[in-house]
Structure 1
């Protein structure tokens, strides 16, 4: 009987041994939107380590857009603008020229007009407005960044971004990291 008891315990111990090493830790919570490529209407990043996502308590409309985030792509001029605003933190905007499809684009300039991009730039404005002000920080030749477009098809633009932006008047620099976006885009202003 003792031998039979031992024979039954050996498989049971083996099975328990298999499961004892299996510890599944839950994925850490990430407050930023997940990366996607299906027009989820999302954008988010970290500004100097703090989470930024668009938010506006009172809705407003920008030429058929939505109240706190928007993407525009012009097939004609191959320009892309992606951005959003948070009324408590400020706005983040990305402007790209010569966008022909997925790939890496360098943010290394300043664009005086975020609606009609004339250069590849990343912008952060400490005020929740879509225009250049004294509170605007922007990329330049020294403070650069990048956008990696993962999808530009079927009226969807998606990708990742990061950049450093400087306020030319004060010298203040912010780091924008872990950025991601996924939008159905509206036609550009010159289409």
Structure 2
């Protein structure tokens, strides 16, 4: 399991480095003001990471759905040059509230600080984690053929050093790939 996590982290890190090296007419996606009733701008994820604003780049933000074995999986991701938020909902069933808890490990969220120069020293905080109980929610408010919109929050833990990150005031408006 640890090897799989490291391989996935390595793939995400390389993807992030490729996307962050691309040029664009825009300098950066502006940070959207985040409040309790806020929403993300189209094509991005916004949140607060321990109280500091996070706003993903539109070029590296997406959602995808896949179906296998009679169940649908929703994956959502948003990156900056130095941070990433990923959320996975297995047994996805459309609009609704999906709890993140150690009772259901088929729903997960991660906050990542990739180390491009040394991918094996990247840091990842995961939710849920062992003996965590309820640590967050992903709320899907709209799901169409082209995009998914909603809000989220979660508390996540780094397995390397047991540090905790609080991801709050999260919102997304992501286009499906």
**Same fold judged by TM-score > 0.5?**
yes
> How many correspondences in the alignment?
136
| Residue aligning to 2:124 | 136
* Contact map agreement 1:85 1:128 (CA 8 A) in 2: no
When residues 161 and 46 of structure 1 are mapped into structure 2, their CA distance, relative to the original with a 3 A threshold, is same
RMSD: 2.9
Query: Which runs of 5 or more residues in structure 2 are unaligned?
Result: 1-30
**Pick from 36, 41, 44: which aligns with 2:43?**
41
Matched, 1:174 2:151: no
Runs of 4+ in 1 over 3 A off after TM superposition: 131-134
Tell me, yes or no, if structure 1 residue 124 matches structure 2 residue 111. Answer: yes
| Bigger strand share | 2
Q: 1:149 corresponds to which residue?
A: 140
Q: Deviations over 1:100-136 (max 9, x none)?
A: 1111101225xxxxxxxx821110111178x997511
Shift of 1:35: 2.1
Structural mapping, 1:1-191, within 5 Å: 31-32=33-34, 34-35=38-39, 40-55=42-57, 67-76=59-68, 77-88=71-82, 90-108=83-101, 119-127=106-114, 135-139=123-127, 140=129, 141-142=131-132, 144-186=135-177
- Deviation of 1:86 (Å): 1.1
Larger radius of gyration: 1
Q: TM-score, normalised by structure 1?
A: 0.62
In 2, the alpha carbon distance for the partners of 1:164 and 1:43 equals: 17
